[in-house]
Structure 1
Amino acid sequence: MSEGASPTTGSTAGPSTGSTTGRPLRRDARRNRDRILEAARDLFARRGLDVGMATVARHAGIGVATLYRRFPTKEALVRAVFTEQFAACGAVLDEAVADPDPGRGFRTLVERLCELQAADRGFSAALQAGFAEPEEVATERAHALGRFAGLVERAQAAGALRADFVPEDLILAMAANNGVIAAAPAADPAASRRLAGYLLSAFRPGDPETLPHPVRLAPHRVL
């Protein structure tokens, strides 16, 4: 992140309060926090995470000192901005797992995750940033991957997914989608949709080709 380094290395602010004390915010403080998040969400979506904290403050119409009182580090700001998007990923997984047709659920999951990445450059960058995760976040991610593994098993048992697909292949697919988004920023939604189509075609059963040995990627980079 090339611009606007934080003047402090203190703990990140929690998204529920915007304060390291955990106390509820006053009305004016809450209004400032909302303006910061709105400005940051718009800037990150259009320009990625290289946007500096000073730029965010200027677009929010507040002082830099006010921004740092709410979000002591850029990591704290990124986490707060993308809370809704991370929750959206969880909702997509919930929908896919709940689908009585596991093959359709699997396809929906891949398509929707690719859409989420393509729709917001900042979110895609945040997924790859590799910020240190709190233990509870890592636990939730592991739980989500376990639920996805269950969906994979059901789709394979239904004959809707090739037998040699492994859950880690979703991470590989999302990494490929990130590459497409980075390579074709002017047309990333369309390019991402086409990639998702290719991937889903390759994931169908019946391909006689044996795949190379599975690889393990860090899930926090793309999921």
Structure 2
Amino acid sequence: MVAVARELFADRGLDVPMAAIARQARVGVATLYRRFPSKEALVTEVFADQFEACVSVVDDALADPDPWRGFRTAVERVCSMQAADRGFSAAFVAAFPDALDVERERHRAIEGFAELVRRAKATGGLRADFAQDDLALLLMANGGVITGPTETALAASRRLVAYLLSAFRAEQAEPLPPPAPLDLRAVVSR
């Protein structure tokens, strides 16, 4: 059931009905609900490894002695994860009040990314006007190009991220309009 849900979420996002998951897994809906009393419980199980991997990406980036390279690598890897699995970015921003481990991992990733931004700005690699909300903007843009087969989505994502990272460099910075007040959860869950 978990493998089927993982495949459906990766392909179609989190809007897949529990009945469709049960049907594809060749089990009854009641069986699915006995194992996972809510869709939240299923989503939490399906994406546990990805939550851990996302935190690992940020931790690895924080360990890099070059703050700009750490920031760049984190952005590239998170966007690649988003392109490879359409459901993960929605799961990352979904509210899981009963899943304390997921909430803790998400908080660690977001706080770690904020530290990456701070460090990259402090060393002059990242433009000074990059705002934390720009991460939501980046994920929105990346989410817009990841249609089609996975290989095409990954290629489009890599190209877009390369363009955006070039624009994020401090030495190429021209003044920008003020950042959009974007809530990461609201943006990715659309």
TM bracket (short chain): 0.7 to 0.9
**Which digits, 9 at most, give the CA deviation of each residue in 1:134-179, with x for residues without a partner?**
4845455344333222222221222211121122212221121112
Q: 1:110 to 1:49 in 2, by over 3 A?
A: same
Counterpart amino acid of residue 185 in structure 1: G
Unaligned 5+ residue runs, structure 2? none
What SS does the aligned partner of 1:45 have? helix
Could you tell me which residue of structure 2 aligns to residue 63 of structure 1? Answer: 28
What SS does the aligned partner of 1:185 have? coil
- Residues 1:148 and 2:113 are matched in the alignment: yes
TM-score of the aligned structures, taking structure 1 as reference length:
0.73
Q: 1:207 to 1:116 in 2, by over 3 A?
A: same
Could you tell me which residue of structure 1 aligns to residue 68 of structure 2? Answer: 103
Q: 1:212 to 1:142 in 2, by over 3 A?
A: farther
Could you tell me which residue of structure 1 aligns to residue 52 of structure 2? Answer: 87
Distance between the aligned counterparts of 1:49 and 1:144, measured in 2? Answer: 21
Q: 1:168 to 1:159 in 2, by over 3 A?
A: same
User: Deviation at 1:115?
Assistant: 0.3
User: Deviation at 1:101?
Assistant: 1.0
Query: Which residue, 170, 173, 185 being the options, matches 2:148?
Result: 185
Unaligned 5+ residue runs, structure 1? 1-35
Distance between the aligned counterparts of 1:159 and 1:202, measured in 2? Answer: 14
User: Deviation at 1:120?
Assistant: 1.0
Distance between the aligned counterparts of 2:10 and 2:61, measured in 1? Answer: 26
Could you tell me which residue of structure 2 aligns to residue 160 of structure 1? Answer: 125
Point out the structure with the larger helix share: 2
- Residues 1:37 and 2:2 are matched in the alignment: yes
Q: 1:185 to 1:68 in 2, by over 3 A?
A: same
Q: 1:142 to 1:64 in 2, by over 3 A?
A: closer
User: Deviation at 1:123?
Assistant: 1.9
User: Deviation at 1:102?
Assistant: 0.9
Q: 1:131 to 1:156 in 2, by over 3 A?
A: closer
Could you tell me which residue of structure 2 aligns to residue 18 of structure 1? Answer: none
Could you tell me which residue of structure 1 aligns to residue 161 of structure 2? Answer: 196
Paired positions, count: 185
Could you tell me which residue of structure 2 aligns to residue 46 of structure 1? Answer: 11
Alignment RMSD? 2.3
Distance between the aligned counterparts of 1:141 and 1:55, measured in 2? Answer: 28
Q: Among all aligned residue pairs of Structure 1 and Structure 2, give the percentage whose two residues are the same amino acid.
A: 58
Could you tell me which residue of structure 2 aligns to residue 173 of structure 1? Answer: 138
Query: 1:118–1:124: 8 Å Cα contact kept in structure 2?
Result: no
Give the structure with higher Rg (CA): 1
- The structure with higher relative contact order (CA 8 Å, sep 6+) is 2
Counterpart amino acid of residue 119 in structure 2: R
User: Deviation at 1:39?
Assistant: 1.1
User: Deviation at 1:210?
Assistant: 1.0
